[in-house]
């Protein structure tokens, strides 16, 4: 059996080994390693979160790579059916349909297709779809809702097989999974094996520039192996005969980019967005070491500030709970060294997490219905990427005097808007 953790020695994009050591966030258990209170281990295995940057292609990565089947074969992350995410998935359909000129009957392949919500939207407008997702539990849900899904890791073999069975794909889509992939070359070999000559590869990843500028340190955990800029993706795609023809920025997951790439020789013209973002990245210093080192310094400062604020509130007898138990939330709590004494519970809509304890901190996770009975004085907004949606639906909590702490870019407290005085 292979070791669970491997050290990234050479860059997964360019193969060089000239690394900038940016920072370490210490050793923590896996962010989605929720625990069953009836079967608690004495100790949870913990792995370092050390951030490095390739001085050649500027890939930002974590040094310790956990074996993918440990992370992704049984996965508790289910695509959110929040209003924001549903609207985004519809936008993705529009963007891809227009750019790839998708017609009914044409094939769309999605890797990391989760429970099939995104592909179902393509199916609704007449496309044939194939999803590929290694999480057997999720692939089963997708198949049950009629979205054909292979419970496998996508790679060269899968790309060739789908091509042989279903023909060319006009679109190969990978949403919020590309940053989880170690052997990106095998995945792009799979994508180019099935892609039509005039087809598009569309990859959505959290945007490195947003991560650095908004101090999103909590999005750095073992599932996220890579943190991409357009610069690095252009470098990667070029190695597979693909060129970036367009980029959209999207507000999901704290700021993401959807990068559209076509075959070198195809007729797709490059849109101005590509050069605009490449120069923005240069202006922001992503090609120098300083931008990463300054981020690390800010991140550690914000970690201290969040920890101090919550410990102070708890010390004064006020109750604090977590809103959401996303992977970034379990990560934030661990980096800030907050446990059940300071954060009583986390409320989350994902039923797979209910009744479980958060990894490392062992804070209990409850359903929103259970949480409603014991509302805290403060909710630490761990799912900060849904801040607008959550704050607007939690107006009652605010009106009753409840407060939110939004942890990043700097911790700040949100209270109810003062009621205007009646004249």
Cα–Cα distance list, 34 to 40, 141, 330, 364 (Å):
10, 21, 9, 10
Inter-residue contact 57 to 235 (CB < 8 Å): yes
Length of the chain: 423
Residue 188 lies near ligand TYD (rule: CB under 6 A): no
Nearest CB to Zn ion, comparing residues 228 and 335: 228
Instruction: Give the shortest CB-285-to-Zn ion separation in angstroms.
Output: 17
- Please give the residue ranges that form the binding site for Zn ion (CB under 5 A): 11, 13-14, 54, 56-57, 59
Residue 174 lies near ligand TYD (rule: CB under 6 A): no
With CB under 5 to 8 Å by kind, the binding choice for 350 among Zn ion, ligand TYD, none is ligand TYD
Nearest CB to Zn ion, comparing residues 31 and 203: 203
Residue 228 lies near ligand TYD (rule: CB under 6 A): no
DSSP calls for 86-140: HHHHHHHHHHHHHHHT--TT-EEEEES-TTSHHHHHHHHTT-EEEEE-S-HHHHH
Instruction: Give the shortest CB-323-to-ligand TYD separation in angstroms.
Output: 7
Interacting span for ligand TYD (CB under 6 A) from 231-239, 275-283, 292-300, 380-388: 380-388
Instruction: Give the shortest CB-336-to-Zn ion separation in angstroms.
Output: 31
Q: Which residues ranging from 90 to 149 are in contact with ligand TYD (CB under 6 A)?
A: none
What is the distance between the alpha carbons of residues 295 and 211, in angstroms, rounded to a whole number?
Answer: 9
Q: What six digits make up the tokens of 181?
A: 């992939």
Inter-residue contact 51 to 24 (CB < 8 Å): yes
Find, among 339, 346, 380, the residue nearest to 360 by Cα. Answer: 339
With CB under 5 to 8 Å by kind, the binding choice for 11 among Zn ion, ligand TYD, none is Zn ion
E-strand spans in 252-398? 256-263, 320-323, 346-347, 365-366, 378-381
Nearest CB to ligand TYD, comparing residues 350 and 370: 350
Among 153, 227, 386, 397, binds ligand TYD (CB under 6 A): 386
Instruction: Give the shortest CB-327-to-ligand TYD separation in angstroms.
Output: 3
Instruction: Give the shortest CB-59-to-Zn ion separation in angstroms.
Output: 5
Residue 326 lies near ligand TYD (rule: CB under 6 A): yes
Question: How many other CB atoms are there within 10 angstroms of residue 243's CB atom?
Answer: 17
Nearest CB to ligand TYD, comparing residues 242 and 405: 405
Residue 256 lies near ligand TYD (rule: CB under 6 A): no
What is the distance between the alpha carbons of residues 378 and 267, in angstroms, rounded to a whole number?
Answer: 55
What one-character DSSP code corresponds to residue 12? T
With CB under 5 to 8 Å by kind, the binding choice for 56 among ligand TYD, Zn ion, none is Zn ion
Residue 371 lies near ligand TYD (rule: CB under 6 A): no
Residue 325 lies near ligand TYD (rule: CB under 6 A): yes
Interacting span for ligand TYD (CB under 6 A) from 57-65, 101-109, 192-200, 346-354: 346-354
Residue 155 lies near ligand TYD (rule: CB under 6 A): no
Instruction: Give the shortest CB-209-to-Zn ion separation in angstroms.
Output: 18
**Before 409, cis peptide (omega within 30)?**
yes
Residue 80 lies near ligand TYD (rule: CB under 6 A): yes
Among 13, 262, 383, 408, binds ligand TYD (CB under 6 A): 383
With CB under 5 to 8 Å by kind, the binding choice for 348 among ligand TYD, Zn ion, none is ligand TYD
What is the distance between the alpha carbons of residues 123 and 268, in angstroms, rounded to a whole number?
Answer: 25
Find, among 68, 65, 59, the residue nearest to 11 by Cα. Answer: 59
| 3 state SS of 329 | helix
Q: What six digits make up the tokens of 410?
A: 């700097």
Nearest CB to ligand TYD, comparing residues 19 and 228: 228
**Taking the C-alpha atoms of 374, 378, 382 and 383 in order, what is their torsion angle to the nearest 10 degrees?**
70
Nearest CB to ligand TYD, comparing residues 229 and 327: 327
> How far, rounded to the nearest angstrom, does the alpha carbon of residue 60 sit from its chain's CA centroid?
15
Residues that bind ligand TYD (CB under 6 A): 77, 80, 82, 324-328, 348-350, 383, 385-386, 389-390
């Amino acid at each position: 059996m292979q070791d669970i953790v491997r050290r990234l020695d050479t860059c997964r994009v360019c193969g060089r080994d000239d690394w900038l050591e940016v920072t370490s966030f210490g050793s923590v258990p896996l962010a989605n390693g929720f625990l069953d209170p009836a079967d608690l281990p004495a100790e949870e295995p913990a792995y370092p979160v050390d951030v490095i940057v390739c001085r050649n292609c500027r890939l930002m990565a974590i040094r310790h790579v956990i074996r993918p089947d440990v992370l992704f074969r049984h996965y508790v992350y289910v695509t959110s059916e929040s209003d924001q995410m549903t609207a985004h998935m519809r936008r993705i359909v529009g963007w891809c349909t227009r750019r790839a000129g998708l017609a009914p009957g044409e094939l769309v392949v999605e890797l990391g297709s989760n429970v099939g919500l995104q592909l179902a939207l393509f199916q609704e407008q007449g496309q044939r779809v194939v999803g590929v997702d290694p999480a057997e539990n999720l692939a089963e849900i997708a198949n049950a809702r009629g979205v054909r899904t292979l419970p496998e890791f996508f790679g060269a073999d899968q790309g060739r097989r789908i091509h042989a069975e279903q023909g060319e794909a006009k679109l190969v889509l990978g949403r919020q999974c590309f940053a989880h992939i170690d052997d990106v070359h095998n995945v792009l070999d799979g994508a180019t094996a099935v892609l039509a000559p005039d087809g598009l590869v569309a990859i959505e990843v959290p945007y490195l520039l947003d991560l650095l500028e908004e101090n999103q340190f909590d999005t750095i955990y073992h599932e996220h192996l890579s943190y991409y800029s357009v610069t690095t993706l252009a470098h990667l795609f070029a190695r597979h005969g693909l060129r970036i023809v367009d980029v959209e920025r999207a507000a999901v997951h704290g700021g993401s980019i959807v990068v559209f790439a076509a075959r070198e020789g195809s007729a797709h013209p490059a849109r101005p967005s590509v050069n605009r973002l490449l120069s923005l990245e240069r202006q922001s210093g992503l090609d120098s070491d300083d931008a990463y080192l300054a981020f690390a310094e800010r991140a550690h400062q914000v970690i201290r500030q969040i920890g101090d604020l919550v410990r102070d509130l708890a010390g004064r007898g006020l109750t604090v709970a977590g809103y959401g138990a996303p992977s970034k939330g379990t990560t934030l709590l661990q980096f800030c060294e907050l446990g059940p004494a300071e954060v009583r519970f986390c409320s989350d809509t994902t039923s797979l997490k209910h009744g479980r304890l958060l990894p490392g901190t062992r804070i209990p996770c409850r359903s929103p219905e259970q949480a409603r009975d014991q509302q805290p004085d403060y909710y630490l907004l761990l799912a900060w990427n849904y801040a607008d949606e959550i704050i607007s639906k939690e107006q009652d909590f605010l009106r009753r005097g409840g407060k939110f702490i939004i942890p990043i870019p700097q911790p700040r407290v949100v209270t109810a808007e003062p009621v205007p005085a009646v004249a």
